[in-house]
Amino acid sequence: MAQIPESQQKVKFYQTGTFTVGNRLLDAEHRNVQATMDRCNSLDSGHRACQGCGEALGARFAIDAAMRASNNQLIAANATGCLEVFTTPYPQTAWSMPWIHSLFGNASAVASGIAAALKAKGREDVRVIAQGGDGGTTDIGFGCLSGTFDRNDDVLYICYNNQAYMNTGVQRSSATPGAARTATTMPVGKNPGNVFGTGKNVPLVAMAHQIPYVATASVHDLHDLEYKVTRAMEVRGARYIEIFVPCPLGWGSKPGDTVKLARLAVESGMYPLFEAEDGEITGVTKIRRHVAVSEYLKLQRRFAHVFKPDNAHQLEQLEAIAERNIRRFDLVSAEGEEE
Amino acid sequence: MLKQVEGSHAVAEAVALCRPEVISAYPITPQTHIVEDLGTMVKAGAIENCEFMLVESEFGALSACIGSSAAGARSYTATSSQGMLFMMEAVYNASGMGLPIVMTVGNRAIGAPINIWNDWGDSMSARDGGWLQLFVESNQQAVDVHIQAFRLAEKLSLPVMVCMDGFILTHSYSQVDIPEQAQVDEFLPPFEPRQVLDPASPLSMGAMVGPEAFTEVRFLSHQKQLDALDLIPQQAAEFEAIFGRDSGGLIKEFDSAGAETVVITLGSVVGTMKEVLAGMRDEGHSIGALTIRSFRPFPSAALLEALKDAKRVIVFEKCLAVGMGGIVSMNVRMALKDQPIKVQSVIGGLGGRPITRAGLRRMFEKGLNDQLEEPHFHDIDMSIVERELEREKSQLRSGSIAENVLHDVGVVAAAKTI
C-alpha cells in the first residue's frame, strides 16, 4: 500500500473480515478515484458482464485512474475477449472514452500505432492504454506485446488475468494454474486438470524487457490498483500491469466471492503483488495475514478435485508454488505476521 | 525530376512526397528496399512529422497502421508473400474498419515450396479482403499510383494495396520522373479522417456486429468498392492534369481497340507482350493487349466496353486458384458472361519463371487457333511432372514433391531459372 503513509496503515477501522481501510476514514487525497464525484465512468453502467465479474471491476478502477492521471486525455485499444464483447454489443457501447477494438492478438500493436500517430501529430498530452485478457496477452497477443515492450512504445498495457479463455467458454491459457479445470483441461485421468510445469509469468517476462514499469495488482485491493495505474501513468515508455480478476463463471465460484477470492489468492501466496522499474523489483505487497492455499482453492469448483485423497499431490504442488512465491518475492515479513 | 533509380527507391520517394505520418516496417524480400529507404529518410529528417516503427512482424506492421490510421495519421506499410499471409487477419480488419492505409505489395510467390521470386499469389490471396488492389506495369506507374492511392484511400475511407511485381519492378533501375512536392500537395490534400480516436469526441470503433446488421455493413463495403469504379478514372484524369501523365485508371489498352484477339494481363509483363504483339500485328494478326490496373474493384463495365469488338480473349496471369484454374480469368469470364467471346486462360510466370518473347509468341499462336487447353500452363515441362507422378505411383514413400522435382530438374537447370 505504497500510497498510504505508514502512520495511516495503523488505523484499525477495517471492513469486516478484511484489512481494507474504508474510504471515509481516509483523508481526501488518499481516497480512491471511484470515491470522487468527478470520476469519469469511462466504463459505464449498462454493460453485459456477468454478475461478480472481476474484469469489469478491475477495468473500471484501472481506466478511471488512468483517465484521472491523464487529465481525461486517454485512448484505449482493446483485444477481443469478454471485456470487448460485454461492453460493445452493437449499437451500444459502455465506453465514454475513445476506444478501439481491432483483433484478438494485436491490441498492443494497435496501441503502439496510436501512440506513434499522436507523437507524429505532437499530441503527446494524449496517452494510450491497451488492454486484454490473459489469452489475448500471454498467448495470441504475446508477439505484438513483446514488440511494444522492445520498442519501449509509450503505451500502458493492462492485462486482466482470470487465468483462462473465458469468452470462448473457459479453455486453458498459458496463465492457467496447474490442476485447474478448464474445458480443455478437464479433471479426468491421473493428473486431473491443467498439467503442472507449464505456463508463463508475463509480469516477469515484461521485466526481462527492462521496460520502465511493471506491476501486478488485484481487485481486492483497489487502492493499490489505482496507485499502480497512477504510478504507471507518471512514466513514459512501455508499461505493463497485470490485474488479478476472478471469474465466477470460469472458476465455479460464487459471484459474491470475487473480491474475497482475489484477496485469498494474494494472502495465500498464489498471486504475489509487486512493482518493478527497469527490470528491478522495487516494491512488494507483504502478506498481512497468511492463509492456507486450501482456503483459496476450496471456494472454486475448478479445483474441487484437488481435495480428493487421490489428488493430494496436486494440492501439495499448489502449496509448493505459493511457498516458492513467498520465498521469491519475500512476501511475509521477517518479524512475523501483523496483527 | 527525372532520375535513374531503383523501383523501390522511386516508391519510397513517392511515399515520402505524400507526407506520411506513420510508417511501419518489417523486412521481407522483395519489399525491403522500400522501407529501408523510407527509414533513412525519416531518420535524416527528410520526412517531417513522421514516425518510423520497426515492428516485430507483418501482423504487427499492419496492426500498428490500424492504430495510427484510427488516430488520424496517414499510415503506410509494405509487404510481400508470406508477410501478406502473416498479416491477413489485419488485412480484413483494416478494410472492415474502413481505415485508409496504403500498402505496397512487392508481389512474390507464396510457399511452400519457399520461393522469393515474382508472381501474384500474395495479392490474390487477399483479393476478397476488402482492399482496393491497384496493379502497376512500370516504376513510373508505381510512383504515380502510390500518390493516387493515398487520395483514393482517404476519399473512400478504405485501404489500398499498390501491387508491383517483385524484383522485376522493385529491384530494377529505370528512368522515373519523381514529381515535385508542390504538385503532390496540390493533388493530395491533408488527411481528414471520417472517423478518429479523439478524447475531445470519444467514439467506440470495432464494436461487435451481429446478424441484425452484418449484411448491411458488408453491402456498404461492396458498394464503396463499386463507387471506386467512378472515382479511380476521375482521379486519374485529375492526376494527368497536374502531372501530365496517364497513370492509374481502371484498365489500359495497348492497341486492343478493335482487335479480334485481346490479351488481358496485370502488372509488368505487358511490357514484353507489347513487343511480341507489335510483331504479330505487323504480320497481319488482329491482336492487342489490355492490362487491368484496378483488380479490386474489378472493372467489369470498362472491360465490356473495351472488348466490344473482340472475338477472343487470352488471359495471362501469374497466379493459380489450385483446384479451379485462373483467378483473373475467372473474373474476366464473370464480366463477359453474356458476351459471345471465347476466353482462354493461361497461367505463367509462377515463382519467377521467366516469360520470354519466344514463349509468348508460341502461346499466342496456339491461342489464335483456340488451341489452348483449359487452363494452359505456360512453359510447363510436363516430363518433370510425369516423372513425379510415376514415382508416386510406384513408391508409397516417394518423398517430398518439391525436393524430387528439383532433383529431376537438376541443379544446373534450377540455377538457370534464377
pLDDT, tens digit (0-9, with 9 covering 90-100), for B297-330:
999 999 999 999 999 999 999 999 999 999 999 9
Q: Which residues of A touch B89 (CB under 8 A)?
A: 103, 105
Tell me the DSSP string of B8-76: HHHHHHHHHHT--SEEEE---TTTHHHHHHHHHHHHTTSSSS-EEEE-SSHHHHHHHHHHHHHTT--EE
> Across the interface, which of A93, A120, A151 has its CB nearest the CB of B22?
A120
- Considering the domain boundaries, does residue A11 fall inside one? no
Among A105, A113, A143, the residue with its CB nearest the CB of B66 is: A113
Q: Do B63 and A93 touch (CB under 8 A)?
A: no
Q: Which of B60, B75, B199 sits opposite A98 (nearest CB)?
A: B199
Looking at A44-48, B285-289, B301-305, B367-371, which range is the least confident one? A44-48
- Rg of the Cα atoms in chain A: 19
> A244 pLDDT exceeds 70?
yes
Residues of chain B found within 8 Å of residue A89, distances taken between Cβ atoms: 207-208, 210
Q: Confirm or reject contact between B217 and chain A (CB < 8 A).
A: no
Residue A22, pLDDT score:
66
Work out the minimum CA distance from B67 to partner chain A, whole angstroms: 4
Mean pLDDT of B217-228: 96
Please tell me the predicted confidence (pLDDT) of residue A21.
Answer: 62
Does A176 fall in a domain? Answer: yes
Q: Name residue A111's amino acid.
A: A
Rounded-to-integer distance, Cα B44 and Cα B190, Å: 23
Banded pLDDT at A33 (limits 50, 70, 90): confident
Window A:138-177, CB contacts with B under 8 Å:
143-144, 146-147, 150-151
Q: How confident is the model at residue A5 (pLDDT cuts 50, 70, 90)?
A: low
User: pLDDT band at B411, cuts 50/70/90?
Assistant: low
Which residues between 24 and 53 in chain B have a beta carbon less than 8 angstroms from any beta carbon of chain A? 24, 49-51, 53
Residue position matching grid coordinates 517476462: A205
Crossing angle (nearest 10°) for helices A54-69 and A222-233: 40
Q: What is the pLDDT of residue A16?
A: 58
Residue A152 lies in a domain: yes
> Does residue A226 fall inside a structural domain?
yes
**Residue A66 contacts residue A37 (beta carbons within 8 Å):** no
Could you count the other beta carbons within 10 Å of the beta carbon of residue B401? Answer: 14
Provide the pLDDT for residue A13. 47
Return the closest-CA partner of residue B343 out of B378, B323, B316: B316
Residues 6 or more apart in contact with residue A18 via CB below 8 angstroms = A220, A263
Whether A99 and B68 lie within 8 Å, measured CB to CB: no
CA distances from residue A68 to A95, A229, B3 in whole angstroms, order as listed: 15, 10, 54
- The residues that bridge with A216 in the sheet, in sequence order, are A242
Specify the long-range contacts of residues B227-232, CB closer than 8 Å, at least 24 apart.
B227/B156, B228/B132, B228/B152, B228/B156, B228/B158, B228/B294, B228/B297, B229/B294, B229/B297, B229/B299, B229/B301, B229/B302, B231/B152, B231/B155, B231/B156, B232/B132, B232/B134, B232/B148, B232/B152, B232/B294, B232/B297
Closest CA to A164 of A194, A204, A203: A194
pLDDT in tens, B153-193: 999 999 999 999 999 999 999 999 999 999 999 999 999 99
Among the partner residues B50, B89, B209, nearest to A120 by beta-carbon distance: B50
Distance separating alpha carbons of residues A201 and A228, to the nearest angstrom: 19
A40 touches chain B (CB under 8 A): no
Residue in A with minimal Cα distance to B70? A114
**Is B60–A147 a contact, with Cβ atoms under 8 angstroms apart?**
yes
Domains and CATH numbers, chain B: 2-243 (3.40.50.970), 251-377 (3.40.50.920), 391-417 (no CATH)
* Band of residue A107 on the pLDDT scale cut at 50, 70, 90: very high
Residue of A87, A103, A209 to mutate, interface with B, max B Cβ within 10 Å = A103
Helix (H) or strand (E) holding B323: none
Does B210 contact A at CB distance below 8 Å? yes
The β-bridge partners of B51 are B22
User: What CATH number corresponds to the domain at position A217?
Assistant: 3.40.50.970
Q: Could you report the per-residue pLDDT of A255-288, keeping only the tens digit for each? A: 999 999 999 999 999 999 999 999 999 999 999 8
- Cβ count near B278 (within 10 Å): 14
Three-state DSSP class for residue B413: helix
* B70-74, B284-288, B406-410: range with lowest mean pLDDT: B406-410
Which of A85, A106, A128 best tests the B interface by mutation, with the highest count of B CBs <10 A?
Answer: A106
- Strand bridging mode A213-218 / A274-277: antiparallel
Given pLDDT bands bounded at 50, 70 and 90, which one contains residue A1? Answer: very low
Chain A 195-214, residues with CB within 8 Å of chain B CB atoms: none
Distances (CA, A) of B374 to B302, B346, B380: 25, 8, 14
Using alpha carbons, select from A35, A80, A82, A38 the residue that is nearest to residue A59. Answer: A82
Distance from CA of B13 to the nearest CA of A (A): 19
Q: Looking at the domain assignment, is residue A161 inside a domain?
A: yes
Under 8 Å CB pairs connecting chains A and B tally to 160
Q: Residue A138: which domain range?
A: 31-329
Report residue B66 as a C-alpha cell: 490500424
Q: Of the candidates B50, B68, B202, which has its C-beta nearest A113's C-beta?
A: B68
pLDDT at residue number A12: 47
Summary mean pLDDT of chain A: 92
- Does A227 fall in a domain? yes
User: Which grid cell is A225?
Assistant: 490498483
Report d(CA A254, CA B376) in Å as an integer: 67
- Is there a domain that residue A51 lies in? yes
Of B148, B346, B150, which is closest to residue B245 (Cα–Cα)?
Answer: B148
Residue B32 pLDDT > 80, yes or no? yes
Q: What is the pLDDT of residues B326-364, one digit of tens each?
A: 999 999 999 999 999 999 999 999 999 999 999 999 999
Asked if residue A35 belongs to a domain, the reply is yes
Looking only at the bridges linking them, the beta strands covering B132-135 and B2-6 are unpaired
Give the pLDDT confidence score for residue A31 in this predicted structure. Answer: 77
Instruction: Taking residues B14-37, report their average pLDDT.
Output: 98
Instruction: Pick the residue from chain A with its C-alpha nearest to B204.
Output: A99
Judged by phi (left if over 0) then psi (alpha if -120 to 50, else beta), residue A74 lies in: beta
Q: Which of B56, B65, B212 sits opposite A113 (nearest CB)?
A: B65
If you average pLDDT over every residue of chain B, what do you get?
Answer: 96
CA closest to B196 among chain A residues: A98
Q: What is the pLDDT of residue A29?
A: 74
Closest chain A residue to B21, measured at CA: A120
Strands B102-107 and A280-284: unpaired
Number of domains in chain A: 1
Nearest by CB: B207 against A88, A103, A118? A88
User: Taking CA atoms, what residue in A is nearest to B72?
Assistant: A117
